[in-house]
Structure 1
Amino acid sequence: MTHVNVLDPGASPLDYYGFELRRYREAAGLTQRQLGEILNYTGSLVGQIETARKLPTLEFSQRADAALNTGGLLSRLVALVMRSQLPAWFQQVAELQARAIEICSFETHMVHGLLQTKDYARAVLGVLDPTNLDDRVTVRLARQNIFEKEEPPVFWAILSEGALHQEMGGPGTMRDQLAHLLSFEHNPRVNIQVLPFTEGAHAGLQGSFDIYRFAGDPTIVYTEGYGSGHPTANPDTVKDCSLRYDHLQAAALSLRDSAELIQRVMEDRYGEQLA
């Protein structure tokens, strides 16, 4: 267990965050309990974050910044903290997602992590590995903060229809997940299409992939295996996957028809209409 008196701010981004939180709190003359009362959290939680035993959330950071007059330091640090908690092989991908101006994703069997609800992410991440599940879910959901940026990326997501039927976490979880997808229907920066079963053979049969495009850097194609990720800027691979994505978009349902299918599956398979 990390002790507050020996916390090393250079040990990790999480330790640095805790060190800074403690420094600002003490400069304000507040105890952990007093700060917790101001932020509407427990003093115990403040202590756990200060000693790098608990991950801070963006909401906690924003409240602490306002209460301690940090100039937004903790809110800026929280993204670095969350990225540092990702598996080493995925940290580069999270950085690509944060820098991209456009993300194009094709998923064969589940909803992309940037669109997952908390319960859906918990069901996905908990398979075979229930350790530190709360923190791992928090880290995954934190990646979705890229959509809150002043200039968020344009996100094109193509889901195989199978992803709507692959039941993760039970009917309630799936119902909420599909409703979450429908919540983006009128967001021009998040565009969701469904590749229907009726399409048969298609350009994505080799598996899921992402394409990341940037303002001034080469396009990156990302594929994923078990416990490993494979980003590449190889021009031939980028050209091939870009062509495949164009064909997948042409084969997928329109945005409106996709939303109608998602709602129909939600109603028929998971038993509740969207209010």
Structure 2
Amino acid sequence: MVNIRTLDPSASPLDYYGAELRRLREAAGLNQKQLGDLIFCTASLIGQIETASKVPTRPFSQQVDAALKTDGAMCRLLGLVLRSQLPSWFQPYANMEVKATYISTYQTQVAYGLLQTADYARAVLAVHNPDTADELAAARLERQRILMREHPPAVWVVLDEAVLLREVGGQAAMRNQLARLLSYEKNPWVHIQVLPFSAGQHAALMGSFNLLRFDEEPDLLYMENYDSGCMTANPKVIKERSVGYARLQAAALSEEDSAALISRVMEERYGDKP
């Protein structure tokens, strides 16, 4: 039976999306099955999204906009929906991330979130959030849209060599993830270096961190622990971490040698085996 639960559109962005989808569908004179037939999905999926029991995807929103001629309204709303899926403690950082003009990051355990593939992101997030991994992965991929803007931020990434060797999500997922890293080799705004094990002790043994720079706001340092994040604009801390990051870049392989190492690991460790 079709679920016709009444939503409170003000309850959350997800509820608003569901209520708006139902309003637009009914205004077009379509039932859930008819809309589903137009966008090649089931009436059940339409019902789940209209009752806020399932998070919509960008392809779904694009198809709805095309079918109902809504001039991109559902895609624009989707950004708010996916942002609301992020953990509450992470949202302040996400709000600053979209404003940044320069992002530099050092990652010790996993590939940088803005460069993750869907399968890799889902595997990482499922470790602690198995029931909501799909929604969290969708929200992470939505954050990556800042790299597709007409004027994207400049991004400099230093990855510990362990990131390449730690198998996350299986061999196929790792191969695709390393291929994603290599795909940025010619991108003028994304630079990737690998810090090799041979570097020994280095300036970031305390763990991963991000530095954000802005056109009109103070620089920010962001670090995470198990279930929370910490941001600071303390000038002394920013200066120390900025110098530390420059030392990391100096100790890391060049971009060209980093790409060669990523390619070699991708083929030797995650390539097709006879």
TM over 0.5: yes
> 1:64-122 CA distances to partner (integer Å, 9 max, x unpaired)?
22222223221111111111111110111222222212211100121111111222222
TM-score relative to the length of structure 1:
0.93
1:201 partnered with 2:236: no
CA contact (8 A) 2:82 2:135 kept: no
Percent of aligned positions that are identical: 56
TM-score relative to the length of structure 2:
0.93
CA contact (8 A) 1:36 1:43 kept: yes
State the distance in 1 between where 2:157 and 2:67 align: 38
1:15-54 to structure 2, matched below 5 A, reads 15-54=15-54
Q: CA RMSD in A?
A: 1.7
Q: Which amino acid aligns with 2:200?
A: G
State the distance in 2 between where 1:107 and 1:158 align: 6
Structure 1 residue 5: Cα displacement: 4.3
- 1:189 is matched with 189
State the distance in 2 between where 1:20 and 1:128 align: 32
Q: Which amino acid aligns with 2:266?
A: M
Q: 1:60 to 1:129 in 2, by over 3 A?
A: closer
Structure 1 residue 261: Cα displacement: 0.5
- 2:61 is matched with 61
CA contact (8 A) 1:108 1:159 kept: yes
State the distance in 1 between where 2:47 and 2:150 align: 32
- 1:160 is matched with 160
Structure 1 residue 63: Cα displacement: 2.1
State the distance in 1 between where 2:4 and 2:162 align: 49
Q: Which amino acid aligns with 1:134?
A: D
CA contact (8 A) 2:6 2:51 kept: no
- 1:236 is matched with 236
1:1-275 to structure 2, matched below 5 A, reads 4-272=4-272
Structure 1 residue 196: Cα displacement: 1.1
Q: Secondary structure of 2:253's match?
A: coil
CA contact (8 A) 1:113 1:121 kept: yes
Query: Structure 2: which 5+ residue stretches go unaligned?
Result: none
> 1:99-147 CA distances to partner (integer Å, 9 max, x unpaired)?
2122111001211111112222222112244222222222222221222
CA contact (8 A) 1:164 1:265 kept: yes
Q: 1:5 to 1:269 in 2, by over 3 A?
A: closer
State the distance in 2 between where 1:32 and 1:153 align: 41
CA contact (8 A) 1:175 1:272 kept: no
Number of residue pairs aligned between Structure 1 and Structure 2: 271
State the distance in 2 between where 1:151 and 1:144 align: 13
CA contact (8 A) 2:82 2:139 kept: yes
State the distance in 2 between where 1:11 and 1:53 align: 13
Q: 1:43 to 1:148 in 2, by over 3 A?
A: farther
Q: Secondary structure of 2:247's match?
A: helix
> 1:176-234 CA distances to partner (integer Å, 9 max, x unpaired)?
21111111111112211111111112111111100111221111110000100001111
| Segments ≥4 residues shifted beyond 6 Å | none
> 1:18-59 CA distances to partner (integer Å, 9 max, x unpaired)?
111111111111112222222222222122111111111122
State the distance in 2 between where 1:74 and 1:155 align: 29
Q: Which amino acid aligns with 2:265?
A: V
Q: Which amino acid aligns with 1:152?
A: P
State the distance in 1 between where 2:42 and 2:246 align: 50
